[in-house]
Amino acid sequence: MSLIKQLWLTIVVILLLAFGGSLFIGVSASRAYIEQEVRIKNADNANALALTMSQMPKDPVTLELLVAAQFDTGHYRRIELRDPQGEIIEQRQAGEAIEDVPAWFVDLVRFEVPPSQAVVQDGWRQFGTLTLESQHSYAYRSLWRSSLELVGWFALAAVLSLILGGWLVRTIRRPLRNVVEQALHIGERRFTTIPAPRTRELREVVVAMNQLSAAVRDMLGEESEKLDQLRRRLQHDGVTGVLKREAFLAQLQIHLESQDSRASGTLALVRLARLADINEQLGHGETDALLHALASSLDQFGKVLGGGVVGRLNGSDFVLLLPGVHDLEQLQHELGKRLASLREQGQVPLGLPASLIDYAQGDQRGGLLASLDGALAAAETRGDHSLVIAQGPQRRSLFTSHGEWRRALQEAMAKGVYLAHYPVLDDKGGLLHFESPSRLRLNSEWQPAGVFMPWVSRLELDGQLDLAVIDEAVRDITQHGKPLGINLSAASIQDARFVMELQARLRARPDVAQRLWLEIPESLAIHDLASFRSLCRALQPLGCRIGLEHVGAEFTRIADLQDLGLAYLKIDRTLVQEVDQSAEQQTILRGMATLCHSLGILAIGEGIQNLAEARILYELGLDGATGPGIRQHDKPAG
């Protein structure tokens, strides 16, 4: 029996005992009081009538009148007068008529009042004995009514007591329920904290569990911080804190091959001119501080524009990757103002020539960097303050205007999307789910997401496309029964109407929702935590698995998301590539997998190039892997 049931049973038993005891005592006291009053009444009336008879003539008519008058004016069962020999001289008698009182109550509280007697004198001799017995019907009626009133008051008291008891039980049950939920969360490796209740015993339990959750969360945070420090030593420049050349080039390649809005944008190359002269004037320490300030300013500029990545190509050259940014003239103006501000703050005259170039999916990394470098050389010939826009590679555009793109995209989405199927496998070759990037039929050909996603974002059609993808995923899962992984855009999860529409569609198909894996970019979840929390709260009760992709740079903040019940993380390919050749990468990935498992989260590696990488990842403890090394691309029909 539960504690709450025991508490309710105790309250009910106490109420019944209090009610029953009080009722018994009240009825018994009232019965004794009424018996005493009836006994006194009988004695007084008998003595008064006997005295009257003693003073009156003793003829039969007078005696009859006296007895009849007394009998008719009171509640009597019997009045009789007997002579000293016991013969009846006069008698009045009536039956016991008890009305409006249940027979069981009469039997239960039967009055035991003996008849009262008094002597009637005739001068100095005894004339007779008068016996008087009251009718008890009024007494039963009075006791019954008082008992009913007592029951009513006790019923009211019982109702109030039950209301108070209910409030007390809820007051106790609420923190108990919170404690149970917290214990379940800890069992699910979600280290949440709850407010401490007022009840001392429960407060002690809650405080102890909160301390446990905080201690584990802090421990995980410290471990993730250590891993991040190791990752930064591996990938980041020690002086400026931005990505090293190799790490940045890997990020650029990922963007050029991506299937989302990252597939197009702008590259900016900035050079600190005459670095050797500056180093000679300022000294090594001041020069390093200047380089760090330049890198930090570019990094901040990239974050303001959203998703910017900064890398150091060599001693004086810094490159800024800006996915989704396409207005080169506006960017030229804004970047020029930032570089001018840096020049004004310098202790010595600074030269900061720069160049810009746009990129798109399929461009060659080497060609882009060569064009940037050539444009930068041209900028230097014009002066240290020049910012030149480089001529990008020749590309074939599907459509020539925003209007054509909008019409084509809306028509393609109305006809339906195609979902590719790239398997994510565990260490035994079992299927975790299919990665399912979308395809749209544009100009009579199925185009990958990297071609149209930049235009979808630019035209603010993200929500419409994501709903079309969800509809196709529902149909695919219904037909084949296989779990699918779907990417959701930043604009969609920030739209409350989209989240409500998605929730309604999945609530109507709970069987499909349980096979749906929804992926959000790591940077979006970290930097827009409110929208991500809303999404998790809306979809997780339906059985959806929500995870993060491209995890790496912000891994230290994953502990902040552990209370949301994340199902999986996909670790960025920059940490996975050539892992079989790097002991430091293996250390980082082993630690990330351990931390993920401590939080009850699956760890999956992205961008696996060959079976050797996959084998190492599984040995390091990762739960799954995906990439060209272990998958075959599905080709859409037609």
Q: DSSP string covering 125-183, please?
A: EEEEEEEEEE--HHHHHHHHHHHHHHHHHHHHHHHHHHHHHHHHHHHHHHHHHHHHHHH
Burial per residue of 612-629, b for 16 or more beta-carbon CB atoms within 10 angstroms, e otherwise: ebbebbbebbbbbbbbee
Angle value at C-alpha 321, between 318 and 325, nearest 5 degrees: 135
Residue 115 has pLDDT above 90, yes or no: no
* pLDDT (0 to 100) of residue 413: 92
* pLDDT (0 to 100) of residue 465: 93
* pLDDT (0 to 100) of residue 310: 93
In which order are the strands placed within the sheet that holds 418-419? 418-419, 438-442, 445-448
Query: Hey, which residues does 433 pair with through a beta bridge?
Result: 424
Q: Which of 20-29, 139-148, 316-325, 553-562 has the lowest mean pLDDT?
A: 553-562
Q: Which secondary structure element, helix H or strand E, spans residue 116, and what is its range?
A: strand 116-122
Would you kindly state where each structural domain of the chain is located, as residue ranges? 33-88+101-157, 236-389, 402-625
The neighbour count for residue 42, using CB atoms within 10 Å, is 22
Task: For residue 60, give the nearest of 91, 93, 85, 90 by alpha carbon.
Answer: 90
* pLDDT (0 to 100) of residue 123: 81
Cα separation, 265 vs 373, in Å, equals 18
pLDDT band at 321 (very low <50, low <70, confident <90, very high): very high
Higher-pLDDT residue of 503 and 395 is 503
pLDDT band at 635 (very low <50, low <70, confident <90, very high): very low
Which tokens hold the place of 149? 């009133």
User: What's the Rg (C-alpha) of the chain?
Assistant: 47
* pLDDT (0 to 100) of residue 2: 64
* pLDDT (0 to 100) of residue 16: 81
* Average pLDDT of the chain, as a whole number: 85
In which order are the strands placed within the sheet that holds 317-323? 309-312, 317-323, 265-271, 354-359, 387-389
What's the CATH fold of domain 236-389? Answer: Alpha-Beta Plaits (3.30.70)
* pLDDT (0 to 100) of residue 356: 93
Percentage of residues in the chain having pLDDT higher than 90: 24
Amino acid identity of residue 361, one-letter, is Q
Q: Per-residue pLDDT tens for 567-581?
A: 899 998 888 888 888
Burial per residue of 309-342, b for 16 or more beta-carbon CB atoms within 10 angstroms, e otherwise: bbbbbeebbbbbbbbbbbebeebbeebeebbeeb
Model confidence, pTM: 0.69
Q: Strand pairing of 116-122 and 125-134?
A: antiparallel
Q: Per-residue pLDDT tens for 167-205?
A: 877 777 777 777 777 777 766 666 677 787 777 777 787
Read off the pLDDT of each residue in 369-373 and give the average, rounded to a whole number: 91
Residue 598 has pLDDT above 50, yes or no: yes
Higher-pLDDT residue of 319 and 62 is 319
Residue 637 has pLDDT above 50, yes or no: no
Cα separation, 605 vs 621, in Å, equals 11
Angle value at C-alpha 483, between 482 and 488, nearest 5 degrees: 140
Q: Looking at domain 402-625, does it have CATH number 3.80.10.10?
A: no
* pLDDT (0 to 100) of residue 81: 87
Cα separation, 413 vs 449, in Å, equals 12
Residue 479 has pLDDT above 90, yes or no: yes
* pLDDT (0 to 100) of residue 3: 63
Q: Per-residue pLDDT tens for 264-316?
A: 889 999 999 888 888 888 888 899 999 999 999 999 999 888 778 999 999 89
Cα separation, 516 vs 485, in Å, equals 6
* pLDDT (0 to 100) of residue 402: 87
Q: Could you tell me the CA-to-CA distances from 576 to 117, 246, 248 in Å, in that order?
A: 115, 14, 14
* pLDDT (0 to 100) of residue 152: 85
Q: Strand pairing of 516-521 and 545-551?
A: parallel
Task: For residue 549, give the nearest of 530, 576, 531, 512 by alpha carbon.
Answer: 576
Q: Which of 154-168, 169-183, 245-259 has the lowest mean pLDDT?
A: 169-183
The neighbour count for residue 246, using CB atoms within 10 Å, is 12
* pLDDT (0 to 100) of residue 408: 92
Q: Are 196 and 214 in contact (CB under 8 A)?
A: no
The neighbour count for residue 386, using CB atoms within 10 Å, is 18
Percentage of residues in the chain having pLDDT higher than 70: 96
Q: Per-residue pLDDT tens for 203-224?
A: 787 788 788 777 777 777 777 7
Read off the pLDDT of each residue in 529-552 and give the average, rounded to a whole number: 88
> 402-625: same fold as 236-389?
no
Burial class (CB in 10 A: 0-12, 13-18, 19+), 631: middle
Query: Hey, which residues does 624 pair with through a beta bridge?
Result: 604
* pLDDT (0 to 100) of residue 618: 92
Read off the pLDDT of each residue in 492-498 and give the average, rounded to a whole number: 89
* pLDDT (0 to 100) of residue 638: 40
Which tokens hold the place of 508? 């109507």
The neighbour count for residue 488, using CB atoms within 10 Å, is 23
Q: Per-residue pLDDT tens for 34-75?
A: 888 888 888 888 898 888 888 888 888 888 888 888 887 767
Cα separation, 476 vs 467, in Å, equals 14
* pLDDT (0 to 100) of residue 633: 39
Percent of residues in the chain assigned helix, strand, coil, to nearest 5: 60, 15, 25
* pLDDT (0 to 100) of residue 518: 93
Residue 233 has pLDDT above 50, yes or no: yes
